[in-house]
Chains A and B, each alone.
Chain A
Amino acid sequence: MTTVRDTVSPPAPPPARPRQWVRVVARRNEAWTFTILVALVAFFSIAAPGKFFTVYDITQIAVNASIYLVLGVGMTYVIITAGIDLSIGSVLVLAAVAAAEYNIHHGAAAAGWGTVAVCVVIALAVGTAWGALQGMLVATGRIPSLIVTLGGLGAALGLAEIATGGEDPSGAVAAHLQNSLGYGKLLGIPWLVVLAAVVTLVFGLVLSFTRFGNYTFAIGSNPAAARRAGIPVARHLVKVYALMGLLAGLGAVMWLASYGTTSIAGHSTDNLTVITAVVLGGTSLFGGRGSVLGTVIGVFIPAVLTTGLIVIGVQQYWQDVAVGVVLVAAVYLDQLRKQTRERN
C-alpha cells in the first residue's frame, strides 16, 4: 500500500523559561544526589586531611552500609511499584532468630559448616516466605502496603520475641560464619562488602535490563495499563515483596555473621533508614521511577555523613538533622517534577 506521508511539523517543546533549572535538576535525581555525595566526601577530605580518606574509614563505611545496601536494593523494587515495606527490620530479626534457634540446638558457637548452611537457608526461607505473604495481601487483598507491612512489622517482631522470650539468645551464631562472612576478606575487601556489591550489581542489572525490571516499572507507573497489557500484576507484586523478604533474610545472615547476635531490639529503625536511602537516591515514592544506582548513592550519604562528622569532631547527631532536611527536599523536588509533568 502507498502511505502518503504528510508533512508533520515537529511539535515545538514548550520553553517554560522560569524554573528551567529546577526541571533539569528534578529530571536527573541521581546526578543530583551523586553531586551531594561527592561534595560531602570532598568536604570531609579537606576538613580532616589524611584522616577521613583512609582505607580504614572507607572499609568501615562500606561494612556499615552493606546490610542497608542489601535491604535498599529490595526496597527500591518495592517503592518503584508504588509500594512500601515497613517490616524489613522485623523480618530481618525474625529470620535471624529462626536461624539462631536452629544453630543453638545444633552446636551453638562450635557448630559445623552443615549447620551454618542450614541456618543460612532458614534465614533466607523465612524472609522470603514472610515477604511473599505480605505481597499476596497487598496484591490480592488490596490492602495498602503501608498497612500490610505495618502489621508485618509488629507481627514478625512479636513472633521473634515469643520464640526467644525477648532476650537475644547466646550461641546464636557459629564461629565458622563469623570468621568467614563476618570478618573474612577477599583481596583485602570484607566479604560482607563483596556480597552486598554482588547483590546490588545483579539486581541493579535485573531492574534495568530485564522483563522483570520492566514489569516493576510498568506496575508502579500505571497498574491498570500493566494489567491490560497482559502483565500478571498480582503475581509480579508477590515476587517483588518476596524479593524484599529474601534480601531481609540475607541481611539477617550478614548481621549474624558481623555481630554474632540477633539484636532483637536493634532493628526498629532499619525501615526508615533504608526508605530514606532509597528516596534520597531519586526513587519516586509515587512509583514508576527509580534505580539501584541511586539507592547506592542514597545509602552512602548518611554513612559518609556519620563517619565524616565523627572524624571532624562534630556531634554525629547532626547527621540525623542533615539527612532529614535533605530527604524532605528530595521528595519536594520529586513532587515538583510530577506536577510539572502533569501540567502538560
Chain B
Amino acid sequence: MIALPVAEREPLLSARGLVKHFGQVQALQGADFTAHRGEVVALIGDNGAGKSTLVNVLSGVLAPDGGEITLEGKPVRFSGPMDAQHQGVETVYQDLSLAPDLDATANLYLGRELFLGGVLRPFKVLDRSAMRLAAIDAFAELGVSLKDVTVPVAALSGGQRQSVAVARAVAFARSVIFMDEPTAALGVVQRGRVLETIRRVRDRGICVVLISHNMPEVLSVADRVEVLRLGRRVASFNAAQTSIEELVGAMTGSLDEPTAAVRNASDKGSAL
C-alpha cells in the first residue's frame, strides 16, 4: 500500500515533524508530508485532522511551532504567503480569494500587476492590455473559455470563478499548487472540468496538492493519497492500488495498527 517507487525519488516539497498548536489545541503533532514534481497528491483526513493547518503551514500562511520544511531539497521557512509565492508555491483557497468587483484579468494579476514603462514608469500605471492578453493566454491554456475577461468576476458563474482562481495559481506557480476543496461548490460538469485542469497542471511538471472530502474524486485524480489523522500523517497510499474502504479506514483510525507499523510515523515520539 505504500508507493515505494515514488518515495525513492527526491521529493519536491517535504515536511518532517511539523508541530503547530493554537493555545491548548494541538493542530499538528509531528506531521510529515511528501510531494513530488508532476504528481497530484490528495491530502485527506476527517474534520479536525489538521488538513487546513498543514496546508496553511506549507503555504506560508502560518509559521510552524516546530519541524522542518524542505523545498527542492533545501530547507525553507516562509515568512508569509507572499514569500511562498516568490518561491513558486501557490494556493487556491477554498473561498477562491478573488476580488468580486475586479475583472478576471485584474484578479489574475492582483498584487503582481504589470506597468507601463518609459516616463510613466514611476507612476505605476497599469499595463492593462499586456495583462489582458496574457490573461487570455492563461485561460486558453487551461481550456477555460471566458467570453470577456473584462467583466467583474462577480458576474461569472461559480465554475468560471473557480477557473480564474486556478488560472492565477497556475500562471505563477513554479513548483507546488495547493487546492483547498476546489470542487466543493461546483456542479458535475464544472467539477469534471476542474479535475481535468488539475491533470493538465500536473502534466506541466507542477505538483498539485488537493485537499478534498470526496473519495471517488480523490481516487480519480490523485496519484498518491496522504492521510492525516489527529495532526499526523498516518498513511500514504498509491492511488491506483487503494480503495475507498482503505482510505476511510485510515482516516477514521480503524486501520491504525498496520499503517502505523509500516509508516513508522511515530518515530518523533510525541504521544497521541
A residues sitting closer than 8 Å to B (CB atoms) are 1, 3, 5-6, 8, 10-11, 209-212, 214, 217-218, 220-222, 224-226, 228-231, 287-289, 341-342, 344
Q: Given A212-B124, A221-B102, A341-B155, list of 7 further CB < 8 A pairs? A: A10-B147, A220-B101, A224-B95, A225-B98, A228-B93, A228-B97, A289-B101
| Whole-angstrom CA separation of A341 from B161 in the bound complex | 13
Q: Enumerate 12 A-B pairs (CB-CB under 8 Å) in ascending A order.
A: A3-B200, A5-B143, A8-B144, A209-B125, A212-B124, A218-B102, A221-B101, A228-B91, A229-B97, A229-B112, A288-B102, A344-B158
Chain B contact-residue range equals 35 or more
Q: Which residue of B lies closest to A12 (CB)?
A: B157
**What residues on B are CB-neighbors of A229 within 8 Å?**
97, 110-112
**What residues on A are CB-neighbors of B154 within 8 Å?**
341-342, 344
B183 at the A/B interface (Cβ < 8 Å)? no
Residue-wise, chain B 94-120 has the 8 Å CB interface mask toward A (1 for contact) of 010111111000100011110100000
Q: Which residue of A lies closest to B163 (CB)?
A: A8
| Whole-angstrom CA separation of A214 from B126 in the bound complex | 9
Q: What's the minimum C-beta distance from A206 to chain B, rounded to whole angstroms?
A: 8
**What residues on B are CB-neighbors of A230 within 8 Å?**
81-82, 85, 111-112
B residues sitting closer than 8 Å to A (CB atoms) are 81-82, 85, 91, 93, 95, 97-102, 106, 110-113, 115, 123-126, 140-141, 143-145, 147, 154-160, 193, 196, 200, 203-204
Q: Which residue of A lies closest to B93 (CB)?
A: A228
Q: Knowing A6-B143, A217-B102 touch, does A228 contact B81 (C-beta < 8 A)? A: yes
| Whole-angstrom CA separation of A8 from B124 in the bound complex | 36
| Whole-angstrom CA separation of A210 from B106 in the bound complex | 12
Q: Which residue of A lies closest to B157 (CB)?
A: A11
| Whole-angstrom CA separation of A342 from B156 in the bound complex | 10
**What residues on A are CB-neighbors of B158 within 8 Å?**
344
Contact of A210 among B112, B123, B141, B155 (CB under 8 A): B123
**CB–CB A11/B159 < 8 A:** yes
**CB–CB B159/A225 < 8 A:** no
| Whole-angstrom CA separation of A105 from B146 in the bound complex | 65
**What residues on A are CB-neighbors of B91 within 8 Å?**
228
